[in-house]
Amino acid sequence: MDTQITKANKGRRDTMDVKKIVSEVKCRINANGGLQQVFFVGCGGSKGAIFPGYYLLKNRAKSFGTSTYNSSEFIHELPERLGPRSVCICCSLKATKETVLAVEAANRAGAVTIAMTGGLDTEMANVGQYVVVYSNGPNQIYSQSNQSYSLRLAFEILHQFEDEQELYAAKEKAFARIDDLIVRGKGIIHDAAYAFARENKDAAVFEVLADGSLWGAAYSMASCHYMEMQWKYAIPIHSGEYFHGPFETTDKALPIVLMAGTGRTRALDERALKFIRKYAGNVLVLDCEELGIKELPEQVAEYFCPVMMIPVEKYAVSLMAEQNGHSMDERRYMWKLSLIHI
């Protein structure tokens, strides 16, 4: 069974796995005319974490659409397609108020809601029709992280609604290996990441380049791990957009992190890296292929890149935190203010 996944139903909670959740969702959706749209909704790191599932469905789904929303935007401009033929997957570790409100709005619209959260005692668990409790914290099981569960749900939706077989058969082999690859990957990057952190611990700004399945990881590194957790200015830049403005900022001093994946969009990474190798001088390359992603089944390796990358890049940032004496848990405002009223 896939760790702690539960159904919330009038105060009763039954343990369910992803397959059972999606099977029940399919019955409900088909009774209303069939699946039309899957929404992925979250804020901050949670929004980055649900990107893998969104990316898989965006690229592979044929009979229904998918989209991703910031929770605040979602509640202020509810999509026309939100309704009984839609599934809304919302993610928040505890109870980000905007995301709780997004779940409630989707419930009112008649959509099926799946709340991904860090425990059964959160407000997210109280409002979601189905609840997925993911692994988090210092002893996190990466194959059961929020990134992994967004992907597990997406694989299952593809399989049950479109009878997709090839990826579905390969995914479990990938999930069985990913924890070991991440632990090994941290060791592989340690020396380069430590040197980069030491060199740039007082830097004013960072650029993080990525594309394809890794775009959510770039957002997480820049917005959550550099800015939120280290109070460093950081900008996520799509590798395909790098040559349409941002590359003009490149010089030998600017700290640049380039994330490279595998599969169809790797050509974008390699083009950016070729330029950076020549014109930049302060670069950390986090390459999924060097970290072993190609040891996973070829059919699904591309989709597992963000599952691998987010804990690896967070580890790289934590090395800077150690050198600066700035805990990754320290905040100025978060959890101290009622931000929903600001």
Which pair of structure tokens corresponds to residue 101? Answer: 């409100």
Which pair of structure tokens corresponds to residue 243? Answer: 């040559």
Residue 77 CA to residue 91 CA, distance in Å, equals 18
Q: Provide the number of structural domains found in the chain.
A: 2
- Domain assignment present for residue 238? The answer is yes
In this predicted structure, what is the pLDDT of residue 337? 72
In 61-169, beta strands by DSSP E: 65-70, 86-91, 112-117, 130-133
106, 138, 164 — which closes off a domain?
A: 164
Among 171, 213, 151, CA closest to 300? 171
Residues 6+ apart with CB under 8 A from 150: 40, 49, 50, 51, 52, 53, 54, 89, 91, 116
In this predicted structure, what is the pLDDT of residue 12? 34
For residues 12 and 157, state if they share a domain: yes
Q: How does pLDDT run along the chain (342 residues), one tens digit per residue?
A: 344 444 444 343 444 599 999 999 999 999 999 999 999 999 999 999 999 999 999 999 999 999 999 999 999 999 999 999 999 999 999 889 999 999 999 999 999 999 999 999 999 999 999 999 999 998 999 999 999 999 999 999 999 999 999 999 999 999 999 999 999 999 999 999 999 999 999 999 999 999 999 999 999 999 999 999 999 999 999 999 999 999 999 999 999 999 999 999 999 999 999 999 999 999 999 999 999 999 999 999 999 999 999 999 999 999 999 999 998 888 887 777 765 555
117, 140, 164 — which closes off a domain?
A: 164
In this predicted structure, what is the pLDDT of residue 341? 55
For residues 11 and 158, state if they share a domain: yes
- Domain assignment present for residue 115? The answer is yes
Residue 131 CA to residue 160 CA, distance in Å, equals 19
For residues 137 and 9, state if they share a domain: yes
Among 234, 204, 230, CA closest to 219? 234
For residues 158 and 194, state if they share a domain: no
For residues 236 and 310, state if they share a domain: yes
- Domain assignment present for residue 342? The answer is no
For residues 139 and 274, state if they share a domain: no
For residues 225 and 196, state if they share a domain: yes
For residues 177 and 130, state if they share a domain: no
In this predicted structure, what is the pLDDT of residue 342? 52
> Helix 298-324 and helix 51-60: axis angle, to 10°?
160
- Domain assignment present for residue 107? The answer is yes
Phi, psi at residue 205, to the nearest 5°? Answer: -150, 150
pTM as predicted: 0.93
- Domain assignment present for residue 57? The answer is yes
For residues 261 and 229, state if they share a domain: yes
| Exposure b/e, 140-157, CB count within 10 A at least 16 = b | eebbbbbbbbbbbbbbbb
- Domain assignment present for residue 159? The answer is yes
For residues 160 and 16, state if they share a domain: yes
130, 164, 198 — which closes off a domain?
A: 164
Helices (H) and strands (E) in the chain, counts: 12, 11
| Exposure b/e, 250-262, CB count within 10 A at least 16 = b | beeebbbbbbbbb
Strand partners, 234: 206
For residues 236 and 152, state if they share a domain: no
In this predicted structure, what is the pLDDT of residue 328? 85
- Domain assignment present for residue 341? The answer is no
Could you list the residue range(s) of the whole structural domain that residue 133 is in? 5-164
Among 294, 316, 317, CA closest to 305? 294
For residues 108 and 193, state if they share a domain: no
